[in-house]
Structure 1
Amino acid sequence: MVIRTIANDFFPAEITNYFSMRLRGLSHRFSSQLTIVIDEFRGHVVNQVFEAADAYLGTKTATPSIQRVKVGKTDKDNNLSLSMDRGGTLVDVYENVEMKWKLVCSQVPSHNHGDVNSSQRSEVRHYELSFHKRNKDLVIDSYLPYILERAKLMREENKSIKLHTVVYGRWDDDEVIFKHPMTFNSLAMDWELKRAVMEDLEMFTNGEEYYKRVGKAWKRGYLLYGPPGTGKSSLIAAMANHLKYDIYDLDLTDVRNNSDLRFLLLSISSRSILVVEDIDCSIELENRESEEAEAHSNQGDNQITLSGLLNVIDGLWSCCGEERIIIFTTNHKKRLEPALVRPGRMDMHVHMSYCNASVFKQLAFNYFGIRDHGVFEQIEKLLEEVNVSPAEVAGELLKKNSNSNAEAAFQGLLKFLHEKKEKGEEETVNIPSSVQFSTISINQSSRGRGRGRRGRGRFRHSGR
């Protein structure tokens, strides 16, 4: 220190800087340490390695080597986020090798004098990772990829699901946090059908290598059909919460033409769910290959064609993105164009039907925490004779929504079902139980404890 002060007094700054750099160079040449610099940005793009290191090191803040920790949370996060503070150092151990991290921050001139956050944005940050030179291959080939994978899993665990909608032909920039509480545990749905959907989702999410091997885009289509109030929207919410996928809610009346539709598809992130609800009611899809369709194409500004929609969900454009789910819903399956719902486009057809014993028991547990009661047998018998949606049953139970009123709620539901029966509003539908493997499709009907004479909940499953 004394020598440096004397040198600064007697020699010009250029000379002292030159010798200082030469001395540092000699020191580095004979040093056994190697330092990797990880900048926050690569050009104008955020460096993914920096982001991953920032998230990973946040989980190591309990180590004795670190004394200052930053904590924060945004609307997009489910949990508090920890990170190193400026100038902080941390020692991590990976496969018995010490890795020394340091967060280096420096200020750059800011031109946004009226912005209170300008000082943060004018700060340049980078991590310095130091280790013994002999461990270079371990760090590059194993340690850093490990950090990237760990950070990816952490982001998924801490991720808030977002709901997107179309505004002026583009996905809205203002992200809406999806806070629907529905899960598969609380979803009032035929238990066999629920299990089949969950198993199919599990196969899909773990099927990256399978889809590559068979040469198919990594996507899955679900057609949810059935009367109103049978839980189609609730099933979508449960799927999104189960997978932690963002939801893109597409109203086709907000899209002008096929080009805009393709643009919207390209703007959807991977690991997401594209939802088109009531597809039979939104617009009249015309196939422009026929002259008749040209003559009757009178939908105002909306010029989406059937062929355009088919190309988006199953053509070349559908390959632009991975791990995507497409869901169509309708109350009237027979109104849909067969080409729209064939295997490869809508791979699994899920029939959301009227309330049965297993659906009612789930609702009773959700509202009152009760799994069995003396009147359950009477209610289940009436459910086999009356067409009533889960939403109607839930509405009756909601009228008495405390545990002390469970008896009154069940009696009220019995009265409601008796009145429905007396009015003759029920419709008898004979759907035989069957398993058809010749077309890789399955039809199931379950009636609580056994098979009833009328099917409640069925699905058509077309391969992976």
Structure 2
Amino acid sequence: MLLVYVIFVAVLLCVLRFLSKTSVLHIIAAFWQSLEDRLYLYQSYKVPQFNENLQENLLYRKVYTYLHSLPSVEDSDFTNLFTGSKPNDILLRLDPAQRISDSFLGARLWWTSEKSDSDAGRAFVLRLRKKEKRRVLRPYMQHILSVADDIDLRKGEINLYLNMENGSRENGRWKSVPFSHPATMDTVLMDGDLKNKVKSDLELFVKSKQYYHRLGRVWKRSYLLYGPSGTGKSSFIAAMARFLCFDIYNIDLSRVSDDSDLKMLLVQTTTKSLIVIENLDELLSAKSTAVSLSGILSFMDGIISYCGEERVMVFTINGKDQVDQTVIKPGRIDVHIHFPPCDFSAFKSLATSCLGVKEHKLFPQVEESFQNGAYLSQEEISDIMIANRNSPSRALKSVISALQSNKLGRRLSDYGSGQLLEESGDSGSLFSRESVHVKEFKKLYGFLRIGSRRKEEPLDLASADKQVQLN
């Protein structure tokens, strides 16, 4: 009898070992799930990635974040492994064939990822017992939103979205990649007073939802960054995004088919986003895009720009004289920020950050070169310093040599050097490197009326002294 029992156990173990190495168990599980579905014991809910207009479903993003935080993702049989933004990060991502479980308020729930019924994106499918859906569903979805928000806040990660060619519907019009630009408000090269004014303006904006709504205006703000190439406009955009923790939507107008397509791209952006169009003046003057000037104007402040809130629009140009003035007229852009050519003060900041040098015997020669009209952009100077960072003296000599070979025959002050560039009668205004005391800045805010008039003046903190006196 004992021998029979031992043989039975041995056979059973062999069968189980065989089953564990084959797909039989999965076939049985799939059959059982199909049987339950036929008996209508479960209710299914789908969370698609995009709606019929290819607008991203924010709930899909929240569910995505939540599901990838569950321990059951690691325990599943079909989890994909990817490297993260850091070299040692290993990320677990759902597989299309993956089925993971979760529990909430004593109920058991299951999630799967599958291709959407439409030809755009994917969808998450939630299954739970019908008898528990009224008790569990809404509290569970609120729980997902809360957990996902906490995870996003802790990570502080942002994404860069790039627009795809029109007609690409598999993943929508926007393609996202992790944004890893290291620039922050602390590292960006900018005068301290100017930097504080920008930060205060952004902080005020994110806290002003009720104020904008009370005025009957859309909660958005627009910036114009202008100055020669290489003066730090792109790095400043990255610093703005990290300061606000907003995703960046970088619009390439060469991939936009017409004005309507541009409007659709704007509609498909999300809240808490930085919407960027770089080198707008070059794109408009080249006539190489299918977008008209009226399309740009409608994008900036037309009725389509009101489809969405808590967004910051950023436009960059090389010079105000190179773009149609209707683009930057008062009321269309809230804040103008000038990025002047590199001066000696900015050079010293670069020497400190790139070379660790605050003073050097060659500094007077560099200063003299600037005074004699030599010019290099911040980007060019920093590249020279980085290439020669092991020898500060060699780096400074290389900068002096490059400056002497790039004299423009005019002094740097001709470029403005951080001062107000507009004529006294120009209604446009800007942030510049001109110093303004914080107390005067705070006093100025008492006179600003964000959106209280249909056509408001762009914010000018460079001339704050004059405005305070007038008020």
TM-score range, shorter chain: 0.5 to 0.7
User: Does 2:386 match 1:398?
Assistant: yes
In the alignment, which residue of structure 1 is the partner of 2:321? Answer: 334
Q: Is 1:165 matched with 2:163?
A: yes
Instruction: Determine whether 1:249 maps to 2:237.
Output: no
Alignment coverage as a number of residue pairs: 370
Q: Is the 8 A contact 2:343 2:417 kept in 1?
A: no
User: Deviation of residue 230 (structure 1)?
Assistant: 0.9
Q: Which has the higher mean CA deviation after the structures are superposed, 199-208 or 308-317?
A: 199-208
Per the alignment, residue 408 of structure 1 pairs with: 394
Offset at 1:283?
A: 2.8
Asked if 1:317 is matched to 2:304, the reply is: yes
5 Å-filtered alignment, 1:57-206, equals 99-100=105-106, 102-104=108-110, 125-126=126-127, 145=142, 147-155=144-152, 157=155, 159-168=157-166, 172=173, 174-206=175-207
Tell me, in whole angstroms, the C-alpha distance in 1 between the residues paired with 2:123 and 2:293: 50
Structure 1 or 2, whichever has the larger Rg, is 1
Q: Deviations over 1:1-41 (max 9, x none)?
A: xxxxxxxxxxxxxxxxxxxxxxxxxxxxxxxxxxxx99652
Deviations 1:94-142 (CA, angstroms, capped at 9, x unpaired): xxxxx5464447999x9xxxxxxxxxx99965468999x9xx8xx9998
Q: Tell me the residue number matched to 1:223.
A: 224
Report if the CA contact (8 A) 2:278-2:317 is conserved. Answer: yes
- Alignment pair present for 1:212 and 2:213: yes
Aligned to 1:290: none
SS of the aligned residue for 1:164 comes to strand
Distance in 1, matches of 2:392 and 2:202, equals: 35
Corresponding position of 1:276: 277
User: In the alignment, what sits opposite 2:18?
Assistant: none
SS at match of 2:205: helix
Q: Is the CA contact (8 Å cut-off) linking 1:182 and 1:237 kept in structure 2?
A: yes
**SS of equivalent to 2:336:** strand
TM-aligned CA deviation for residue 400 of structure 1: 0.4
Which deviates more from structure 2 when the two are superposed, residues 99-108 or residues 324-333? 99-108
Change (3 A) 1:218 1:376: farther
Equivalence map 1:49-64=2 (5 Å):
none
Query: Cα gap change, 1:377/1:53 in structure 2, threshold over 3 Å: closer, same or farther?
Result: same
Deviation at 1:202, TM superposition (A): 2.2
Give the superposition deviation at 1:312: 2.1
**Residue identity in the other structure for 1:381:** E
Residue of structure 1 equivalent to 2:433: 445
Going from structure 1 to structure 2, the CA distance change for 1:128 and 1:179 (only over 3 Å counts) comes to: farther
In structure 1, the residue corresponding to 2:326 is in which secondary structure? Answer: helix
2:46 — aligned with what?
Answer: 41
Q: 1:396 to 1:215 in 2, by over 3 A?
A: same
Aligned-pair distance for 1:169? 7.0
The 1:81/1:154 distance shift into structure 2, 3 A limit, reads farther
What secondary structure does 2:413 align onto? coil
Report the CA distance between 1:318 and its aligned residue: 0.7
User: Is 1:86–1:103's contact at 8 Å kept on the other side of the alignment?
Assistant: no
Q: 1:300 to 1:237 in 2, by over 3 A?
A: closer
Q: Relative to structure 1, is the Cα distance of residues 265 and 305 closer, same or farther in structure 2, using a 3 angstrom cutoff? A: same
Report the Cα distance in structure 2 between the residues aligned to 1:189 and 1:176, rounded to whole angstroms. Answer: 28
Contact 2:335 2:430 (C-alpha < 8 Å) held by counterparts: no
Letter in 1 for 2:268: S
Pairing 1:18-29 to 2, within 5 Å after superposition? none
Give, as a single letter, the amino acid of the residue that structure 2 aligns with 1:164. Answer: L
The structural deviation recorded for 1:410 is 2.5
> 1: CA distance between counterparts of 2:384 and 2:175?
37
Aligned letter for 2:247? Answer: Y
Contact 2:102 2:110 in 1 (8 A): no
Q: Which runs of 5+ in 1 are unaligned?
A: 1-36, 92-98, 111-120, 286-298, 448-458
Relative to structure 1, the CA distance from residue 446 to residue 158 in structure 2 (aligned partners, 3 Å threshold; closer, same or farther) is: closer
Higher mean alpha-carbon deviation, 74-83 vs 350-359, is at 74-83
Letter in 1 for 2:145: L
Contact 1:348-1:462 within 8 A present in 2 as well: yes
Residue of structure 2 aligned with 1:346, choices 330, 333, 358: 333
Partner of 1:306: 293
- Structure 1 pair 102–443 and aligned structure 2 pair: CA distance change class (3 A): closer
Identity in percent: 26
The aligned counterpart of 1:374 is 360
Mark the runs of 5 or more structure 2 residues left unpaired by the alignment.
1-41, 52-56, 116-121, 436-456, 462-471
Paired residues of 1:38 and 1:50 also in contact (CA < 8 A): no
CA distance in 2, matches of 1:43, 1:443: 43
For the 8 Å contact 2:249–2:274, the answer to whether it is kept is: yes
The alpha carbon displacement at 1:87 in A equals 8.1
Shift of 1:351: 0.6
1:394 CA displacement:
1.2
Q: How big is the shift at 1:216? A: 1.6
